[in-house]
Amino acid sequence: MTGSHDVANTKIPMIGYGTAEYPLGSNPEIARESILHAIKVGYRHFDTAAVYQSEKPLGEAIAEAISRGFIKSRDELFITSKLWCKDGHHHLVLPALQQTLKNLRIEFLDLYIIHFPVSIKLGTSGLAFDKDTDLVPMDLNSVWKAMEECQILGFTKLIGVSNFSIKKLQAILSQARIPPAVNQVEMNPLWQQKKLREYCEEKGIHIVGYSPLGAKGTPWGSNKVMECDVLKQIAQDKGKTLAQICLRWVYEQGVSVLVKSFNKERIQENMDILDWKLNSEDTQKISEIPQHKGCLGVQFVSQNGPFKCPADLWDEEV
């Protein structure tokens, strides 16, 4: 067991398995096999999204895990998926969630979240878009009302957001009947999100952290986290991998951490962070690491769109 965080009478496991593989949707069979192995070794929290094209492999892995006796039912898992920007319009939210459930071959999600706080104009097909012509402001009020309806109808236990700043959270909270349960954001020792975490804790919003290892292999990721000398030294002193140091640090902040690997050895290694701790000297050193955001969201930044620069998207200099 990986421990869990209680949110609105629902337990969110503290260690989750991410399913995004780049290029997106490029290895569905490898994804299915890796997810199945992750279930076998004890992962119970799985993160997918419409845009990842990993919903179907996840659904297949869940069905196989049940048939092979790794789990008794889908109810043992915590499953998150995300509303993609092209469906970020009031009347498209519920149909998008219903398609996600069909892809996953399940009756409900544990958590459904808005992937980014921006919409793609109506009529745009597929997952690709032109950032100079297709991006439009998201009507947060109407989209959030549709998200609330999804929860009220029982298609998801919880609703939340991803990549939302304090300012954008405030916009939702000012009119929400059901507040976001979760804000899923980039978080690692090189992007610690202190102010955002403090705000979310104050408002009862649980943080789920993605890219805890720096997201090498993604369009925005880099080696900066895995090549950090401070982290290398802590890992060497503790006899742990650098990845384990990063994951343990996120875990110790009370944040649910999402980690992805298709390597069976590392899938297990990434879970082995529960029976040891970082000491105060370690955490002090990590707190002093210069900060560097990885995911700038440049695909949503355009002089012709709602966000003219990354600072508009994140409501801070990055």
Q: Annotated active-site positions, please?
A: 52
- How far apart CA 215 and CA 142 sit, in angstroms, is 32
CB of 157 closer than 8 Å to CB of 10: yes
Task: DSSP for 286-315, please give it.
Answer: HHTSPP--S---GGG--TTSS-SSHHHHHT
- How far apart CA 299 and CA 130 sit, in angstroms, is 9
**Position 36, amino acid:** L
- How far apart CA 78 and CA 44 sit, in angstroms, is 6
Q: Residue 242 is encoded by which pair of tokens?
A: 């650098």
Closest CA to 113 of 52, 68, 22: 52
> How are beta strands 45-47 and 15-18 bridged, if at all?
parallel
CB of 25 closer than 8 Å to CB of 53: yes
